[in-house]
């Protein structure tokens, strides 16, 4: 009995689409920009970094898809400060269940913890360099973004960064 109703409903939908001039392919098409997804990189995103009130000693990195195609933000960004030779450690527990996929105009977030265990080599930082990761976890071979940090930013070599998240709240949990 249910199979018959499903067939009737499907036939009715196809007939309605035909009357409106739409094809079934057009009705099930992906949103604009979804086809041919690309990796999020500096060339197709706008990157900002800002202070947050909580948690303390954290900054919020925001990327916004400024391109015309959907982009995927893989893993966590690689972040270094000024002329340091070390980079912020990745919080592996922050890995989301799926890759953060951003349609044009949408944003993704990562949290940047400025002080980790053992406050060694603490210093004021003026700039951060952010590099995106490729799908395989390696380099995207694109130029990194140089970001001006909020005034008075102090970091140590225990700094850490989260994986990309869909919301600022999820990123700042870490």
Q: Please, which pLDDT band fits residue 32 given cuts at 50, 70 and 90?
A: low
- Lowest-pLDDT choice from 24-28, 50-54, 83-87, 95-99: 24-28
CB 127 within 8 A of CB 146: yes
Distance CA(79)–CA(89), nearest Å, equals 8
- Beta strands 38-39 and 127-133 are unpaired
- Alpha carbons 93 and 33: distance in angstroms, whole number: 31
Q: How confident is the model at residue 83 (pLDDT cuts 50, 70, 90)?
A: confident
pLDDT tens per residue across span 69-82:
999 999 999 999 99
- The residue with greater pLDDT, 124 or 21, is 124
Sheet strands side by side (includes 89-90): 45-51, 58-65, 107-113, 160-161, 89-90
pLDDT for 119 beyond 60? no
Pairing of strands 71-81, 127-133: antiparallel
Give percent above pLDDT 70 in the chain.
Answer: 78
Rounded to whole angstroms, how far apart are CA atoms 162 and 13? 45
Q: Exposed, middle or buried, 52 (CB in 10 Å: 0-12/13-18/19+)?
A: middle
Mean pLDDT of all residues in 158-169: 97
Residues in the chain: 174
| DSSP string covering 61-118 | EEEEE-SSS-EEEEEEEEEEETT-SSBPEE-GGG--SS-EEE-TT-EEEEEEES--SS
Confidence (pLDDT) at 45: 98
The pLDDT of residue 72: 98
pLDDT in tens, 40-58: 999 999 999 999 999 999 9
* Residue 118 pLDDT > 70: no
How far is the C-alpha of 127 from the C-alpha of 86, rounded, in Å?
14
């Amino acid at each position: 009995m249910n199979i018959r109703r499903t067939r009737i409903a499907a036939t009715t939908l196809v007939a309605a689409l035909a009357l409106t001039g739409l094809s079934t392919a057009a009705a099930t098409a992906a949103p604009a920009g979804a086809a041919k997804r690309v990796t999020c990189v500096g060339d197709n995103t706008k990157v900002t970094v800002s202070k947050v009130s909580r948690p303390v000693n954290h900054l919020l990195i925001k990327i916004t898809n400024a391109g015309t195609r959907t982009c995927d933000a893989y893993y966590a960004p690689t972040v270094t400060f000024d002329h340091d030779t070390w980079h912020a450690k990745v919080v592996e527990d922050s890995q989301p269940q799926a890759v953060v996929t951003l349609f044009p105009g949408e944003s993704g977030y990562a949290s940047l913890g400025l002080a980790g265990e053992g406050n060694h080599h603490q210093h004021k930082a003026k700039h951060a360099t952010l590099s995106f990761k490729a799908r395989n976890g390696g380099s995207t071979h694109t130029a990194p973004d140089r970001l001006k940090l909020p005034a008075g930013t102090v970091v140590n070599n225990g700094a850490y960064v989260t994986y990309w998240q869909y919301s600022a709240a999820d990123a700042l949990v870490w």
